[in-house]
């Protein structure tokens, strides 16, 4: 797509969520950056740590931490597994715990895994068109349970921030694993 010719802060390809324009920022997460997050450490070490697990593009029209603003982003998660566990995002609570978020699935198939502060964990199916409201005080992660890329779009408050440490230390209360060709949410303990 060429640079935006219409008004607004960027151009969105609504079929893929792809953002185009000078304001769009991008980050890439490789397998190596996700050490310790997948269950099967042996399988993890056998894989190419440069494998791209997901990419995020986002728009931050106000500085990070601004009260009252909104951010917008698109995440593309590659298909694949570490052992039985599907490729997934790191997952986080918002640093300001009570900040909520919308996720919408554009393409692919997977699960939005959510966990409250008491570690109760549940999941919602993501498929093209599904819209998900993530309440405040709920950690969130997406796993790609399909054979193709999973593309989702998100909108969250600009003062939400991200607390990754809590997930790095304790993980979620359940993992999305492949069992006999099905994806199953399996409690961790
Ligand atoms: C923002 C948000 C998403 C994620 C993205 C990557 O609050 O939830 O934009 O940041 O899907 O996941 P993480 O941040 O867990 O690596
Ligand atoms: Zn979030």
Which residue among 57, 65, 75, 136 is best mutated to probe the pocket of ligand 1, counting the most ligand atoms within 8 A of its Cβ? 75
Q: In this structure, what token pair is assigned to residue 42? A: 């042996």
pLDDT tens profile 107-143: 999 999 999 999 999 999 999 999 999 999 999 999 9
**Full-model pTM:** 0.96
How much is the pLDDT for 189? Answer: 72
- Residue 112's domain is classified under what CATH number? 2.60.120.10
CA of 174: how far to CAs of 83, 107, 108, 119, in Å?
A: 16, 24, 22, 9
What ligand is nearest to the CA atom of residue 137? Answer: 2
How many structural domains comprise the chain? 1
| 3 within domain boundaries | no
pLDDT tens profile 162-172: 999 999 999 99
How much is the pLDDT for 1? Answer: 53
| 177 within domain boundaries | yes
Ligand 1 center from residue 116 Cα (angstroms): 16
Q: Is 38 in the pocket of ligand 1 (CB under 6 A)?
A: no
CA of 13: how far to CAs of 4, 105, 110, in Å?
A: 11, 14, 21
Q: Is 158 in the pocket of ligand 1 (CB under 6 A)?
A: no
Ligand 2 center from residue 94 Cα (angstroms): 6
Burial group, residue 95, by CB count within 10 angstroms (0-12, 13-18, 19+): middle
Q: Is 144 in the pocket of ligand 1 (CB under 6 A)?
A: no
State which residues form the domain around 76. 11-187
| 5 within domain boundaries | no
From first to last of the 189 residues of the chain, give the pLDDT tens digit: 555 556 799 999 999 999 999 899 999 999 999 999 999 999 999 999 999 999 999 999 999 999 999 999 999 999 999 999 999 999 999 999 999 999 999 999 999 999 999 999 999 999 999 999 999 999 999 999 999 999 999 999 999 999 999 999 999 999 999 999 999 999 997
Ligand 1 center from residue 55 Cα (angstroms): 10
């Amino acid at each position: 797509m060429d640079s935006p010719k219409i008004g607004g802060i960027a151009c969105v390809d609504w079929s893929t969520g792809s953002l185009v324009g000078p304001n769009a920022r991008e980050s890439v997460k490789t397998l190596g950056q996700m050490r310790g997050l997948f269950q099967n450490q042996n399988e993890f070490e056998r894989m190419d740590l440069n494998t791209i697990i997901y990419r995020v593009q986002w728009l931050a029209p106000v500085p990070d931490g601004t009260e009252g603003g909104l951010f917008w982003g698109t995440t593309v998660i590659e298909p694949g597994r570490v052992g039985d566990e599907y490729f997934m995002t790191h997952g986080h609570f918002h640093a300001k715990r009570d900040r909520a978020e919308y996720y919408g699935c554009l393409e692919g198939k997977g699960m939005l895994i959510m966990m409250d502060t008491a570690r109760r964990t549940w999941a919602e199916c993501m498929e093209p068109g599904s819209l998900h409201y993530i309440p405040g005080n709920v950690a969130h992660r997406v796993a790609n349970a399909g054979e193709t890329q999973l593309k989702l779009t998100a909108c969250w408050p600009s003062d939400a921030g991200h607390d990754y440490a809590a997930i790095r230390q304790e993980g979620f209360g359940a993992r999305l694993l492949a069992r006999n060709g099905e994806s199953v949410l399996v409690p961790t303990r």
